[in-house]
Amino acid sequence: MIRYIAGRLPSAVVVLFLASILIFSVMRLVPGDPALALAGPDATPEAIAAIRHSLGLDKSIPAQYLTWIGDVLILDLGRSFVLGGQISDLVLAGLGNTAVLAGSALLLAVVLSLVLSVAVVVWPKKWLTSVVNLLNTLSVALPNFVTGVLLVLVFAVLIPVLPSGGVPPGGYLARPDITFQYLLLPSLCLALPVAAALTRFLSEALRTEMAQQYVITARAAGVPRWNLVTRSALRNALPTMLTVLGIQTGHLLGGAVLVEAIFAWPGIGQLIEQGIGRRDYPVVQVLLLLSVTIFVLIQLLTDIVHAYLDPRIRIGGQQ
């Protein structure tokens, strides 16, 4: 297993290095200038030059890249051009909020998909399958910004039982009941498309598993359908679900940008969106690199878990 993991690491490092060059280059290719964004429309050329110098933007592009990547490697992420603070502080705060949101959304998605997938396979009623399919289609078809606005409209404005946005005022741990209410709408909005994709794949994998010879034999021997699904088919279908979960986690982080904007959730997505709009190069570069790192790590983790669950993969990898 260790050899399998060691074999996967070099490609991850190469991906991260190439990503850093790509991210840095793309940011410099995007039209717009952070010095101008800071200076405002009434700035003089002298003021803009002074700001550009203070931000280090008057150096050559390779020199700027080397300075940046050198600092990142020693974990000095620099200061935000726009927000003024240390990027490490901004990222930690944003990352914490996004992790809470994405984590709760992921948990919700997994629970929902498990419940629905097992239900449609254990009780293969036509109406139940139709309802689940309809919910799946709606969840995938409706973009986050529509679902989010609808949820806010219904549960925060028309029937005002939940907050329309923001984070719990006293922090997440101070009042769990209040935290739960703040989290429910944004995490549900983020979880729905992920849950739909997971349900679709998992229910299909379960159906395939239920058509296997060993299941037919077991059914003929009188083993209840429920036992077959939960004790055998589900375990065999989990690798498929894990693969999809890995990919969907990436999509989920992407979707967080919109959901955080709709629910005024001060996470990484909001930081990226504002950073791009105001050309806050250091913040956007760090956040994009962080996103790539998280994605690479999740893929690595998925591969490792996959290999753990299915020995053929790690043996094949070693060979």
Partner 1 sequence: MNSSLSTAGLDRRAFFRGSAIAAFAVFGSGSLAACSSAVGEQRSDAVESVEPVRGGTLTLAIPDDVSPAALLTSTTVAGVTISGLVYETLTRYPLDSVVPQPVLAKAWKLSDDGLTLTLDLRDDVTFHSGRRFTSADAEFSLRTYADPKFSAQLRSTAAAITGFDSSNPNTLVLTLAHRTGNIFDLLDLAPIFDPETFDKAVTGESFVGTGPFVFTSRTPNSSISFDRNPDYWVAERPYLDHVEARIVPDAQARLTSLKSGQVSLVAPASLPFRDSQNLAKTSGFATTSIEGAELQIYLGANVTADGLTDVRARKALAYAIDRDRIMSEVYRDTGYAANLPWPKSSPAYDAAKNATYTRDVGKARALVGDLGALPTIPLTYTGASPDFEAAAQIVQANLAEAGIRVELDPVEASIFVKQLIGAEFKGLWLTNHTFAQYVPSTLTVSAYPFNAAHNASKFSSPAYSAAAEGAWQVPDGSSDEAKKLYAELGTQLLNELFLIEIGVVVPQVSAAETVRGLAWTKGRQPQFANTFLA
Question: Which part of the chain contacts partner 1 (CB under 8 A), choosing from 2-10, 63-71, 161-169, 284-292?
Answer: 161-169
Distance from the Cα of residue 8 to its chain's centroid: 22
- Return the residues of window 64-123 that contact partner 1 according to CB under 8 A: 79-85, 89-90, 93-94, 108, 111-112, 114-115, 118
CA-based R_g, the chain, Å: 24
Nearer to partner 1, 133 or 181 (CB): 181
Q: Is 7 in the site for partner 1 (CB under 8 A)?
A: no
Nearer to partner 1, 50 or 142 (CB): 50
Nearer to partner 1, 233 or 299 (CB): 233
- Return the residues of window 274-303 that contact partner 1 according to CB under 8 A: 274, 277-279
Nearer to partner 1, 287 or 289 (CB): 287
Residue from 162, 197, 198, 202 in contact with partner 1 (CB under 8 A) = 162
Nearer to partner 1, 17 or 226 (CB): 226
- Return the residues of window 207-226 that contact partner 1 according to CB under 8 A: 212-214, 218, 223, 226
- Return the residues of window 117-146 that contact partner 1 according to CB under 8 A: 118
- Nearest approach, Cβ of residue 23 and partner 1 (Å): 18
Q: How far is CA 284 from CA 3, 77, 252, in A?
A: 35, 11, 19
Q: How far is CA 201 from CA 117, 133, 237, 298, in A?
A: 9, 12, 9, 19
Among the residues of the chain, which ranges form H helices?
Answer: 2-29, 34-39, 45-55, 61-73, 87-122, 126-141, 144-152, 176-210, 213-220, 225-228, 234-262, 268-277, 281-309, 311-318
Nearer to partner 1, 61 or 146 (CB): 146
Nearest to 117 by CA among 230, 200, 193: 200
Nearer to partner 1, 142 or 184 (CB): 184
Residue from 156, 242, 247, 300 in contact with partner 1 (CB under 8 A) = 156
- In the three-class reduction of DSSP (H, G, I as helix; E, B as strand; rest coil), residue 161 is classed as coil
The mark string for 240-269 relative to partner 1 (x by CB under 8 A, - otherwise) is ---------------------xxxx-x---
Residues in contact with partner 1, total (CB under 8 A)?
84
- Nearest approach, Cβ of residue 68 and partner 1 (Å): 19
Residue with tokens 């999509």: 251
Residue from 6, 10, 29, 31 in contact with partner 1 (CB under 8 A) = 31
Question: Which part of the chain contacts partner 1 (CB under 8 A), choosing from 18-26, 46-54, 297-305, 306-314?
Answer: 46-54
Q: In DSSP terms, which residues pair with 79 in a beta bridge? A: 86
The mark string for 174-193 relative to partner 1 (x by CB under 8 A, - otherwise) is -x-xx-xxx-x---x-----
Buried b (16+ CB within 10 A) or exposed e, 51-73: bbeebebeeeeeebbeebeeebe
Nearer to partner 1, 19 or 184 (CB): 184
Structure tokens at 100: 């809470």
Separation CA 91–CA 75 (nearest Å)? 12
DSSP string, 3-66: HHHHHHHHHHHHHHHHHHHHHHHHHHHSS--HHHHHH-TT--HHHHHHHHHHHTTTS-HHHHHH
